[in-house]
Structure 1
Amino acid sequence: MTPRGTHSMTTTTEIERKYDVDRQLRLPDLLQIPGVAGLEFPGTVTLVAVYFDTETMNLAQNRIVLRRREGGGDAGWHIKLPAREGRTEMQWPLDVETGSGSGIDLDDSTGPGEAIDGGATDVPGRVLDPIRTIVRDRPLTPLARITTIRTTVLLLNDEGDAVAEIADDDVSASDMRGGVFRKWREWEVELFSAAPDSRKARTALLDAVEAALRAAGAQPSTSIAKIARALGADALTELTPSAPRTTKRAEPHAGSAASVVATLRELGARLLEADPRVRAEEPKGLRTMTATVQRLQSVLAVYRRLFERDTIEALRADLDVVGSALEAAAHAEARAGRVQKSLDHLAEPLRDEAAETRLLAETRADSLTAHAELRRMLTSRPYFGLLDRLDVFLLHPAVTPETYETAAREVTKSLGRGGRRLRESTDVALAARASAAGAVPTTPGESSALAGIDTVAAALREVHTAARRLRHAAEAVTPAADGGKKYRRLAAAAKKVEKALDAHGDDREFSVYVTGAATRAHAAGEATFVYGVLATRAEVEHDDVLADMRGEVKHIDRLSHKL
């Protein structure tokens, strides 16, 4: 139906029905269908499509189709995904560019920008981006070759616009792995852009067309997808071993280990959903994936004692690598956006073309570099290895025998340790700030604590990390159902501290960057007044954010003791 396009890719919603027909069958009088005022006959074309999948049929398991088709008006690379109504079809031209860094980095066997070897034809990296988390680093090879001789007729409304297309398909299919050749004929009815706006009306139109076709002798197809029928199945899911049936999980009790596991599973699913959005450079995609990885890191860090140590430590190490690349790209992107916004808000007398050019060029270059590094990481073997290990862990969480019976108690103890870490890191940060301001430490303990702190900023980052971990850990044991109010209160209080430090840290980081840019500008003989204005504004914007931090943290400490 209505297409949307980006990066030479278009996305459409495909709503269709298929029918099995005998070879001698002819189409009925289509003008008798309600809402059809005219017909158009585009003619006959030959379509040749090669379908791809991994050896273990990972795409079929997820009801996804990947093909390269020649012939007709939509020749190109196609991916079909399940949708709430019909299917979502993504399409790229046959000569689609691979895209910078879109090849998989397999110990340098595939360089950046190359495609994955799909046997007779390579699958471009840009095409694979939406399904990377499913394919990962597994080889893609041809699954079947389907040749379709298609004769079409368009059903037109009163305005002469096409509401649907009926395709009369003579299909020949070669199972390239099983060595079986199959032939059949089918009619395919697909809605077009002028189809009714409401789902109810669309269904009524399809029902009316179906009534006419069935009256002529057609029968609803036993196989929804041509590729399934080419391989001798009625559905894609029949091509793979059936998954064990699982019963619906009961709502976990607030504060239990089950609630921690449920949260981890939800975050794992969210990570797989966010990945293709980042690759497609969708708005908020990077922010969503960064936040998801941070939550996974926090929950595994706080509740690490619930699970087998080696498993958790390996996951945490892998997530640190992914998180660092995501945060670097997110920070670079945010800095570029802040520079643009700050310059836009400068009064005209303060405008400096050289300063604007330098700041915009530097931040944009930094953002491009960070995103390129992120894409390289997201197409690397270690990243796909992390996804594989995360799959196994989330399917069978490695809960230790020692904590299985006392897991709920361990949850409470973990949150208590998180609250204590936040309190201690806050004490150190405030003491460091007082020392930097010229105050004299009041106790030897404060003095020894300050010895390991290089800067106030480093100490505040520790507080921010502690607050974020505590918030995520409290949210992880708060089910959607009633109950768990004490955990929600704890999460809300920790979030307040986290968000305040977010703003303070962003201001500090921006001020440091602008000061560095001023140094580079001065070395190049450029004026630096504008840099000073921007740095000063950033410093004072949230300078008072720490005033009530000790009180907020004491409140959090009291809440954690009431669990």
Structure 2
Amino acid sequence: MADTKREIERKYEATDATRLPDLSRVAGVGRVVQRGVTELDAVYHDTADLRLAAGSLTLRRRTGGADEGWHLKFPVATGIRDELHEPLADTLPRSFAALLRSRLRHDEPAPVVRLLTSRDVRHLTAADGTLLAEVAVDTVCAERLAGEGTGATATWTEIEVELADDGDPAFLDAVEKRLRKAGVRPSDSPSKLARALAETTPVREGKGRKKDAPHTAGDHVLAYVREQIQAIVDRDPAVRRDLPDSVHKMRVATRRLRSAFKTYRTILDREVTDPVGAELKWLAGELGVDRDQEVLDDRLTTRIEELPGTLVLGPVRGRLKIWSAARRTGSRRKVVAVLDGDRYLALLDTLDALSADPPLRPAATRAPAEALPRAVLKDYKKLARRMDRALEQPPGPERDAAMHEARKAAKRARYAGDAARPALGKPAKRFAKRMKAVQSVLGDHQDSVVARDALRTLAIQSHAAGETAFTWGLLYGREEASAEARERELPEVWERASGPALRADLKH
């Protein structure tokens, strides 16, 4: 596994004549330590169409400096990136190739830019010698190795201020205040690579113009579809890195995309989208195994923690841990195997093709205010029918199943509202918020149904092992009470969400 570091830095413009101010006067700085000049030689790799750069990813092979080797950087937020490091080698590390698979697909990254940097480094330390930040004055020479502008060069000087590991980001504000007083201004470029590409790409007439804003109903639906496709691609490396909530977010993107295909069948031809939706359902199912267990574990753990200690009898926590581990054994390996498989790669290629050549139907040319509310209200009507059925059922398994079906319809209606929001504005936002409230009650009810099934299994296992099943029975009763509370709450929540103003609001 590659070494990972959270990089928090800020960049500033400079010239050969720029002189750093006295940074020892920055609050908290006890000493400025000169660390000398280092020569760095970095070759940045990308696809011919600069796919990595488009996603603000950086892949380079660098010699010189204490951390020479391969570096892969993922954006986290403005000025914050996760930097992964692998030892110096002639070929792309396998771990990096896997993390980039959703973007590279069948392509191999090749050198696109070479940067020669003369780095003059200073360390800002506290009075006790603790490193606070590293300040580097970089003199850069860039050469374009491929694509438009091949052979073109650019030179510039910039200042980087990188926060020390576990440092307080507020310290960077103090440093910036001092730099600004000296006339040093933040850089317009987020990275050296971005600047090198910008300064070595020939300027063509008409190039760089902003894309036209969505105009038709089809424009808006496609914008949403493409957003979800990009979300799947973007979440892939995070899932492989096992980052918190990454599986959930990738799964949500697959569900939103599949839901959009169903909701907007008058906009996108279902003969094309239905097979794609089936593959998205498969992917969501593969991703869901680990996620569903994670949600269940969190719920049961919370329920146990809420009990008084006198009611937790026997090795309850240990039993839960053993049961959960048995169900999750190999689940992460299975998820990664799915992402490495040909079926998943084929799905990504299909999504790319759909995005590039969308199967638009005639209704796609209509105005958003005409076509989109109809599609959203159709999903709402489906939810209303399922809600009627759920509320008519007596308590028991049939009501549980009916509420689960209503939950799925509420989620789809909510997603439909979210997709229409850029076009319809506040009415779609209010609609989605109402549907989310209904989904939340139904979702908690379904979680209780699943939890009760798990608690029964745990009680049986405990009894078979000679342990008391008292606590599991107690928790089962509490989950029953929770489900009943949701059932009592649901009619009022549904009444508020489905008030008479809903349809008129969405149509206007």
Cα distance in structure 2, aligned partners of 1:279 and 1:481: 37
CA distance in 2, matches of 1:202, 1:64: 30
Specify the alignment match of 2:58 in structure 1: 65
Distance 2:151 2:415 in 1: 55
Whether 1:135 aligns to 2:111 is no
Establish whether residue 201 from structure 1 lines up as the match of residue 177 from structure 2. yes
User: Following the alignment from structure 2 to structure 1, what is the Cα–Cα distance between the partners of residues 380 and 86?
Assistant: 56
Partner of 1:10: 5
Counterpart contact for 2:23–2:178, Cα < 8 Å: no
Relative to structure 1, the CA distance from residue 54 to residue 209 in structure 2 (aligned partners, 3 Å threshold; closer, same or farther) is: closer
- Residues 48, 147 of structure 2: 8 Å contact kept: no
- Which of the residues 105, 108, 122 maps onto 1:154? 122
Q: TM-score, normalised by structure 1?
A: 0.70
Among candidates 342, 360, 367, match of residue 399 of structure 1: 360
Change (3 A) 1:182 1:91: same
Q: Take 1:248 and 1:291, find their aligned partners in 2: how far apart are those partners? A: 28
Cα deviation for residue 259 of structure 1 reads: 4.2
2:277 alignment counterpart: 316
2:235/2:250 contact within 8 Å kept: yes
Partner of residue 91, structure 1: 83
Tell me, what secondary structure is at the counterpart of 1:542? Answer: helix
Q: Aligned ranges for residues 272-351 of structure 1 at < 5 Å?
A: 272-351=233-312
CA offset at residue 530 of structure 1?
2.1
1:352 and 1:530 in contact (8 A); partners too: yes
Aligned 1:33-44 pairs, distance under 5 A: 33-35=21-23, 40-43=33-36
Query: Matches of 1:531 and 1:465 in 2, distance apart?
Result: 29
Instruction: Specify the alignment match of 2:168 in structure 1.
Output: none
Distance 2:94 2:453 in 1: 41
Letter of the 1:529 partner, please give it: F
Letter in 2 for 1:326: L
For 1:48-63, what aligned pairs fall within 5 Å after superposition?
48-62=41-55
- Does residue 165 (structure 1) correspond to residue 160 (structure 2)? The answer is no
Once residues 375 and 42 of structure 2 are traced to their aligned partners in structure 1, the CA distance between those partners, rounded to angstroms, is: 55
Query: How far is the alpha carbon of 1:419 from its aligned partner?
Result: 3.2
Secondary structure (helix, strand or coil) at the match of 2:45 reads: strand
Alignment of 1:239-254 (within 5 A): 245-249=209-213
Write out per-residue CA displacement over residues 228-276 of structure 1, whole angstroms, 9 at most, x where no aligned residue.
Answer: 86xxx654766999977444416x69xx555434433444444455444
Which secondary structure does the structure 2 equivalent of 1:15 belong to?
strand
Equivalence for 2:28: none
Aligned residue number for residue 95 of structure 2: 125
Deviations 1:480-510 (A, max 9, x none): 775x53x455434433322111011000101
Judged with a 3 Å threshold, the aligned counterparts in structure 2 of structure 1 residues 513 and 196 are, in CA distance, closer, same or farther, namely closer
Checking the alignment, whether the CA contact within 8 Å between 1:55 and 1:139 is kept in structure 2 is no
Q: CA contact under 8 A between 1:151 and 1:168: conserved in structure 2?
A: yes
How many angstroms does 1:468 deviate by? 1.6
Distance of 1:463 and 1:200 partners within structure 2? 53
Q: CA deviation at 1:428?
A: 4.0
Which has the higher Rg, Structure 1 or Structure 2? 1
Name the CA distance, whole Å, in 2 between partners of 1:477 and 1:174: 42
d(CA) in 1 for partners of 2:174 and 2:462?
Answer: 59
Report the equivalent of 1:546.
Answer: 487
Residue 420 (structure 1) shift:
3.4
**1:396-433: CA deviation from partner (whole Å, max 9, x where unpaired):** 543212664487655444344323322333344455x4
Aligned partner of 1:556 in structure 2 is 498
Structure 1 residue 388 displacement after superposition:
4.0
TM-score, length-scaled by structure 2: 0.76
Gap regions ≥5 residues in structure 2: 26-30, 165-170
Map 1:425-504; keep pairs closer than 5 Å: 425-430=386-391, 433-434=393-394, 455-479=398-422, 485=427, 487-504=428-445
Instruction: Please state whether the residue corresponding to 1:470 is helix, strand or coil.
Output: helix
CA distance in 2, matches of 1:223, 1:467: 41
Report Cα offsets for 1:307-331 as digits up to 9, x if no partner.
Answer: 1223311331222122223333321
Match of 1:477, SS?
helix
CA 1:388 to 1:186, structure 2 compared with 1: closer, same or farther past 3 Å? same
Give yes or no for contact 2:9–2:80 (8 Å, CA) kept in 1.
yes
Call closer, same or farther: CA 1:549–1:394 in 2, change over 3 Å. Answer: same
Q: Give the conservation status (yes or no) of the 8 Å contact 2:44–2:58.
A: yes
| C-alpha separation in 1, matches of 2:37 and 2:371 | 69
Give the conservation status (yes or no) of the 8 Å contact 2:46–2:112: yes
Match of 2:318 among 357, 381, 402: 357
Displacement after TM superposition at 1:147 (Å):
6.7
Higher helix fraction: Structure 1 or Structure 2?
A: 2
CA apart distance, 1:197: 1.5
CA distance change for structure 1 residues 259 and 520 in 2, over 3 Å: closer, same or farther? Answer: same
- 1:115 corresponds in structure 2 to none
Query: Structure 1 residue 174: deviation in Å?
Result: 10
DSSP 3-state at the match of 2:360 = coil
Change (3 A) 1:288 1:237: farther
Pair 1:190 & 2:166 matched: no
In structure 1, C-alpha distance between the alignment counterparts of 2:253 and 2:389, rounded to whole Å: 29
1:17/1:189 contact within 8 Å kept:
yes
Matches within 5 A, 1:230-245: 235=199, 245=209
TM-fit CA distance, 1:457? 3.2
The alpha-carbon distance between structure 1 residues 519 and 506, as it changes in their structure 2 partners (threshold 3 A), is same
- What displacement does 1:466 show? 1.4
User: How many matched pairs?
Assistant: 489
